[in-house]
Structure 1
Amino acid sequence: MKLGYHTSYWTSKPPAGAVECIATAERLGFDSVWTAEVYGSDAFTPLAWWGAATSKVRLGTNIVQMSARTPAATAMTAITLDYLSGGRFVLGLGASGPQVVEGWYGQSYPRPLERTREYIEIIRAVVAREAPVAYSGNHYQLPFPGGTGLGKPLKSTVHPLRSHIPIYLAAQGPKNIALAGEIADGYLPFFFAPRNNDYYRAALAEGFSRRDGGQAPADFEVVAGPNIVFDDDLETAADALRPWVALYVGGMGAKEANFHAASIARLGYEAEVEKIQQLYLAGHKKDAIAAVPTAMVEDVALVGPPDRVKDGLARWSESVVTTLLISGDEAHLNKIVDLLS
């Protein structure tokens, strides 16, 4: 497996030590560096700012939310970053969820798979620069129908450095994972669990079967990584991540449409997920955190003594994941690299 460094999304302010960690990741031979966004900082700006100090690592977004920008705007930014980085940019996209799409961006959420397909098709057309871009979809139309009536198909003024910029798709449900296998260059899972590897493999295979030739491209990437907490006491290590699991299972999305909760439920935790959601949404966050079993944490993260973490890393290396994402400070990165060596 290749290694990637993830700065994660910002909370109240930029993550401390990101510049130093990125430099360390490149020095240690990491393949890539990734940024993220939710409803605070964007993913592109820090990637450009911090990426300017790098020369070898690929620079990716994990993820850019589609509803935040039109397809053409995203394509423009991708072309620009690809040029500035010397062809090292990877565009990671995701549909997000209805709370963010409709509550933050003021866009309609229904039919996200269809919307994703159209969005990527337009980006591909802009980057290919083979002709002025005209598109007539259910979600996106170029030129815009109506308005002044003066819109016309246009071609990017910039000749892209590459006619094909890699696009990786974030997905959790089987249909969306299959879509990644069908139309994207890579897949970005969240709450990936190695023991559910057959689920991911089957969903990707469904998508690959729809491609010309009916199989996966040789360079198709699956980029994911667990949160890793070292502690000689397993329960203490798990305690550090229970709030994170409870937040996503209980509070990141509406009860009727929480894709993170669905991912955990698919591991056989339907009853536990229901309990965590009920407690979290009722405002009993401490109880929701306490309701997260250690086994659930261990399924989606690596916690405990170094030997236990090393055994867990071996399970990840045997999965569909091709790039292991790591977050944390410089000491953490060095410790994980030592474990893998």
Structure 2
Amino acid sequence: MKLGLQLGYWGAQPPANVPELIAAAEAEGFDAVFAAESWGSDAFTPLAWWGSSTERVRLGTSVVQISARTPTSTAMHALTLDHLSGGRAILGLGVSGPQVVEGWYGQPFTKPLARTREYVSIIRKVLSREEPVTSDGPHFPLPYTGPGSTGLGKPLKPITHPLRADIPIWLGAEGPKNVALTAEIADGWLAIYYSPRLAPMYNEWLDEGFARPGARRSREDFEVAATCQVIVTDDRAAAIAGLKPITALYVGGMGAPELNFHAQVYTRMGYGEQVEEIGRLFRAGRKDEAAAVVPDEMVTETMIIGNVDEVRADVKRWADAGVTMLLVSCRDADHVRELSAAVLG
């Protein structure tokens, strides 16, 4: 099992202790460091700035939002970071959700699977640098010839020669069709709310993608990086109670009532009744009551919590289920060292 340090995205201000976290992660054998974006800080700049002090860990985006940049722009960012890091970049992509895509980026959210396929295809053309990049669209036509076009668009290929034509592309995916697409066209899956209990279901989705003509990878060389809070504690009950408000937030407050991908994930796990009640209470502003509805199992399904022996047993269970990397958040360098000793030691 590998460990990835998830820095996430910034809150109101940049986090103060990231350099010490990254230094500890590299020293303690973490495989990668990831940065995210929502509608504040971006994902690439922190990796370039803080990653410049590293020598070994891979630097990944988890995730870059597809609607934030054209595919050629994202390819430029990725090849630049890959050069600066000496070939350590991982490009993690995701479609986000309609509230962000349409409300923040001013782009349509429809046809996310088709947009993702086209987006990844263009990035791979840029990175291969075999010929000027063209695309028939319809989502990202190159050259652009639509309304307002001058007709002067010219197919181009990157001036800078990519260090690697095969920069790993990992996709953030939650639903069955998106996970199958990920197995077909990507090098890894960034899984959120992964549950080892449901591994047979995930494997069915992944196998569908691996079996498609032209699939890029097989299970043997495909990475599954699962976001997983790992808490080493002798007071398991208290830790679970402390995480219930966060679970309630994502189930009840992240996304529109009509379309909340996180809620759909937990519904597939079998918590449909609780999901409905959590959403109702959360939208009514009764957040404490919403958290109280969350059963312990809803927390422990997707997180590893317990003493060192319990954590190690659970890590093995996740590895046996097909997870190759745990993406963990850490509060300080001591926390990094604690998780390294428990998971990697």
Per-residue CA deviation, residues 68-88 of structure 1 (Å, 9 max, x unaligned), is: 000010000011011101111
Aligned equivalent of 1:111? 111
SS at match of 2:221: coil
Residue pair 1:102, 1:109 contacting (<8 A) in 2 also: yes
SS at match of 1:143: coil
Residue pair 1:224, 1:321 contacting (<8 A) in 2 also: yes
Matched residues in 2 for 1:18 and 1:214: separation?
35
Matched residues in 2 for 1:188 and 1:154: separation?
31
Going from structure 1 to structure 2, the CA distance change for 1:216 and 1:42 (only over 3 Å counts) comes to same
Going from structure 1 to structure 2, the CA distance change for 1:211 and 1:241 (only over 3 Å counts) comes to farther
Aligned equivalent of 2:340? 337
Count the aligned residue pairs: 341
Aligned equivalent of 2:52? 52
Matched residues in 2 for 1:33 and 1:304: separation?
24
1:26 equivalent in alignment to 2:26: yes
Aligned equivalent of 2:75? 75
How far the C-alpha of 1:48 sits from its partner, in A, is: 0.6
Query: Where does 1:191-202 land on structure 2 (aligned, <5 Å)?
Result: 191-202=193-204
How far the C-alpha of 1:23 sits from its partner, in A, is: 0.7
Aligned equivalent of 1:39? 39
Greater shift after overlay, 8-17 or 36-45? 8-17
Q: Tell me the percent identity.
A: 53
Greater shift after overlay, 235-244 or 217-226? 217-226
Letter in 2 for 1:257: L
SS at match of 1:165: coil
Aligned equivalent of 2:12? 12
Unaligned 5+ segments in structure 2 are none
Greater shift after overlay, 250-259 or 211-220? 211-220
Per-residue CA deviation, residues 85-111 of structure 1 (Å, 9 max, x unaligned), is: 111101000001111111111100011
How far the C-alpha of 1:159 sits from its partner, in A, is: 0.9
Aligned equivalent of 1:289? 291
Matched residues in 2 for 1:265 and 1:283: separation?
22
Aligned equivalent of 2:141? 141
Aligned equivalent of 1:95? 95
Per-residue CA deviation, residues 254-296 of structure 1 (Å, 9 max, x unaligned), is: 1221111111111110000111111111211111111111110
Letter in 2 for 1:224: A
Root-mean-square deviation (CA), in Å? 1.5
How far the C-alpha of 1:213 sits from its partner, in A, is: 7.3
Query: Where does 1:308-327 land on structure 2 (aligned, <5 Å)?
Result: 308-327=310-329
How far the C-alpha of 1:229 sits from its partner, in A, is: 2.9
Unaligned 5+ segments in structure 1 are none
Going from structure 1 to structure 2, the CA distance change for 1:229 and 1:16 (only over 3 Å counts) comes to farther
SS at match of 2:220: coil
Residue pair 2:186, 2:216 contacting (<8 A) in 1 also: no
Query: Where does 1:142-157 land on structure 2 (aligned, <5 Å)?
Result: 142-146=142-146, 147-157=149-159
How far the C-alpha of 1:312 sits from its partner, in A, is: 2.1
Matched residues in 2 for 1:325 and 1:138: separation?
35
Matched residues in 2 for 1:75 and 1:307: separation?
43
Matched residues in 1 for 2:217 and 2:18: separation?
38
Aligned equivalent of 1:251? 253
Matched residues in 1 for 2:293 and 2:154: separation?
56
Going from structure 1 to structure 2, the CA distance change for 1:322 and 1:30 (only over 3 Å counts) comes to same
Residue among 208, 220, 223 paired with 2:222: 220
Normalising by structure 2, report the TM-score.
Answer: 0.95
